[in-house]
A and B are shown apart, each in its own frame.
Chain A
Amino acid sequence: MFYREAGDFKTSYTEDNQTFPIKFDRYRYYAVLLVAFAVVPFIINDYWVNAVFLPFLIYAIAAIGLNILVGYCGQVSLGTGGFMAVGAYACYKLMTGFPEINIFFHIILSGGITAAVCVAFGLPSLRIKGFYLAVATLAAQFFLVWLFNKVSWFYNYSASGQINAPERTVFGVPVTGAEAAPWAAYLFCLVFTFISAIIARNTTRGMAGRKWMAIRDMDIAAEIIGVNPLKAKLSAFAVSGFFVGIAGALFFSVYLGAVEVGEVFGITKSFLVLFMIIIGGLGSIFGSFAGAAFLVLLPVLLKNLLVGTLGWPTDLAAHLEFMIVGALIVVFLVAEPHGLAQLWRVAKEKLRLWPFPH
């Protein structure tokens, strides 16, 4: 009814190029932003932040990063966990090495460092494709985790081998460490997620994104048109690494506070983020959010439903949760192989015509 292009005339290419060309979509987007920035911080408590919002926001950044590499550029990576670890350890070293600098810059710098590492491990992509590249990035995963365990310089020679986030403030408000208020941590992550999503959207809708997609869809044709495959692939690795690094840094500093690398950034993390983008939808920024929401919220939801509402024993619920999440993933992928983003697109197409069938 309200979801119409009719009557909303575009008179310039800038207007036609915008992210939300339909008015209703645009307002919905502003409404979501308003709620996220101005309403949620006032009503959330510790449980909501730690169980739902922080993991969702941080995984969304990681998923956006991986989606640029896998969904847009077609280069499969299984090294996400390792690259998140690079972000986390870079952030730790920067936080402890330069305590006078604002953590905001530490996190951005960690992203930059991860981007460089990611490019180095992306070099094999110039020679190998598909599954073989996935195995090559797997090497990055294992090597990086081993490195951070082995070289004690990375964890400042602490006896436990863990890294702990010291307290850091933004505008006088602590965002890391034990004293950080839930709303502060939430807002801090939200800002990063928001900016990451905008940057990702801008790069993917411009020439950079077209080059990536050209490489993904047909690399030989892309090269004959004038895409330099070396630059296109490595820039995808760099941008992807930047986001994944930021996600890793936030995951360590704001969300967990203390990290033991093998436990937190193991291969399971790589798979988790990969599943997020597959379920959410490859090659879609919205899909990254949807996938992160699906895999973060669903377990929480099921737990609350089974333990809280139905009163089942916790251990039984925990096992059932795995089974149900697994089954739902299969159901979703059979029903819609292109992920939640595609469901969303189909729903929007239908909505555009509703209530008329054609």
Chain B
Amino acid sequence: MLDASEGYTTEDGRKIGGVVMEMKNITLRFGGVVAIQDISFDIREGEIRAIIGPNGAGKSSMLNVISGFYNPQEGEVWYKGAKRPPMKPYEVARQGIARTFQNIALFEGMSVLDNVMTGRIRQMKAGMLAQAIWKGKAEREEVENREVVEKIIDFLEIQHIRKTPVGRLPYGLKKRVELARALAAEPSILLLDEPMAGMNVEEKEDMSRFVLDVNDEFGTTIALIEHDMGVVMDLSDRVVVMDYGKKIGDGTPDEVRNNQAVIDAYLGVAHD
């Protein structure tokens, strides 16, 4: 087991830093249903951390706990070395945790550019009056942040749809715009909820490339949920496996692949 501040080096030679976020004995209940039961794991700086598990395992609930949408009944969330008190989702976002959604949650009535610019909410602080006059701080901020946003738009290759209303875009592009919006926040941790869901092989390859590039270029820490095992095993540095709300495995893709509990959960166990 690694020390919290100590890093490690991945197989492909990337340096992974200390712990950014640590979940300690998280339990989440909805009435009588226990969605997450006593789960602990950590996310380290610069790594791609996957959470996998069969349907209903509690993966999305786990992501919702991280992004502050649910407050767990028991357990602690430690972020950047401090215990995080129960918070509203927007406060969590302002601490630097951005996410995408399983079913795209873009603002359909706004253009791609506006959607991505909304991601800069943490960085844009001009008051209402400054914006009403549109001189000085408001205008300067708008231009500065536009430059950052344009870089991300370039990076994700969505320049041609910059001014298109999001409602008119096809599914694959929407997923990419959503990633752009999350990236625009320059998050310390990027949470991706099934980024490849509903995509064909080609789109999946594109998306995988973007996820790797984001991690590589910006050094963003990524936590992702994904069902496509091939993708998960290729992309991630470490994997948490959940089943029925419990953690049944944690480690590198190879370790997880050979874990008997994981094999049982996915393939079933013979009753004899």
Q: Please, which residues of chain A bring their CB within 8 A of the CB of B110?
A: 210, 213-214, 217
Q: Please, which residues of chain B bring their CB within 8 A of the CB of A217?
A: 106-110
Whether A229 is near chain B, meaning CB under 8 Å from some CB there, is yes
Q: A216-B109, A220-B105 are in contact. Are A14 and B128 (CB under 8 A)?
A: no
Whether A203 is near chain B, meaning CB under 8 Å from some CB there, is yes
Whether B24 is near chain A, meaning CB under 8 Å from some CB there, is no
Q: Please, which residues of chain B bring their CB within 8 A of the CB of A203?
A: 128, 131-132
| A197-223 interface code vs B (CB 8 A; 1 in, 0 out) | 001001100111011011011101111
Q: Which residue of A lies closest to B131 (CB)?
A: A206
Q: Which residue of A lies closest to B110 (CB)?
A: A213
Q: Which residue of A lies closest to B107 (CB)?
A: A217
**Are B118 and A225 closer than 8 Å at their CB atoms?**
yes
Whether A114 is near chain B, meaning CB under 8 Å from some CB there, is no
Whether B121 is near chain A, meaning CB under 8 Å from some CB there, is yes
Kindly state the separation between the CA atoms of A216 and B126 in the bound complex, as whole angstroms: 21
Chain A: interface secondary structure? Answer: helix
| B107-121 interface code vs A (CB 8 A; 1 in, 0 out) | 111100010011111
Q: A224-B69, A226-B93 are in contact. Are A213 and B107 (CB under 8 A)?
A: yes
Chain A nearest CB from B128 CB (Å) reads 6
Total interface residues in chain B, CB < 8 Å: 41
Q: Please, which residues of chain B bring their CB within 8 A of the CB of A239?
A: 128
Q: Please, which residues of chain A bring their CB within 8 A of the CB of B131?
A: 202-203, 206-208
**Are A206 and B126 closer than 8 Å at their CB atoms?**
yes
Whether B94 is near chain A, meaning CB under 8 Å from some CB there, is yes
**Are B93 and A206 closer than 8 Å at their CB atoms?**
no
Chain A nearest CB from B167 CB (Å) reads 9
Total interface residues in chain A, CB < 8 Å: 30
Q: A199-B132, A208-B131 are in contact. Are A12 and B143 (CB under 8 A)?
A: yes
Whether B67 is near chain A, meaning CB under 8 Å from some CB there, is yes
Partner-contacting stretch, out of B14-22, B33-41, B133-141: B133-141
Within B173-190, the residues touching A (CB, 8 Å) are: 181, 185
Whether B50 is near chain A, meaning CB under 8 Å from some CB there, is no
Whether A318 is near chain B, meaning CB under 8 Å from some CB there, is no
Whether A228 is near chain B, meaning CB under 8 Å from some CB there, is yes
Q: A13-B147, A213-B109 are in contact. Are A223 and B114 (CB under 8 A)?
A: no
Q: Please, which residues of chain B bring their CB within 8 A of the CB of A225?
A: 90, 93, 98, 118-119, 121, 181, 185
**Are B99 and A224 closer than 8 Å at their CB atoms?**
yes
**Are A226 and B134 closer than 8 Å at their CB atoms?**
no
**Are A213 and B147 closer than 8 Å at their CB atoms?**
no
Kindly state the separation between the CA atoms of A97 and B107 in the bound complex, as whole angstroms: 47
Within A178-211, the residues touching B (CB, 8 Å) are: 199, 202-203, 206-208, 210-211
Whether B122 is near chain A, meaning CB under 8 Å from some CB there, is yes
16 residue pairs A–B, Cβ–Cβ below 8 Å: A13-B147, A199-B132, A202-B134, A203-B128, A206-B142, A207-B117, A207-B126, A208-B128, A210-B118, A216-B109, A217-B110, A224-B69, A224-B89, A226-B90, A228-B88, A235-B128
B contacts, CB < 8 Å to A: 67-69, 88-90, 93-94, 98-99, 101, 105-110, 114, 117-122, 124, 126, 128, 131-134, 138-139, 141-143, 146-147, 150, 181, 185
In the complex, besides A210-B121, A221-B107, A225-B185, 15 extra interface pairs with C-beta distance below 8 angstroms are A12-B143, A14-B143, A207-B117, A207-B121, A211-B118, A213-B110, A213-B114, A214-B118, A218-B107, A220-B105, A224-B90, A225-B181, A226-B90, A226-B121, A227-B90
A contacts, CB < 8 Å to B: 12-14, 17, 199, 202-203, 206-208, 210-211, 213-214, 216-218, 220-229, 235, 239, 283
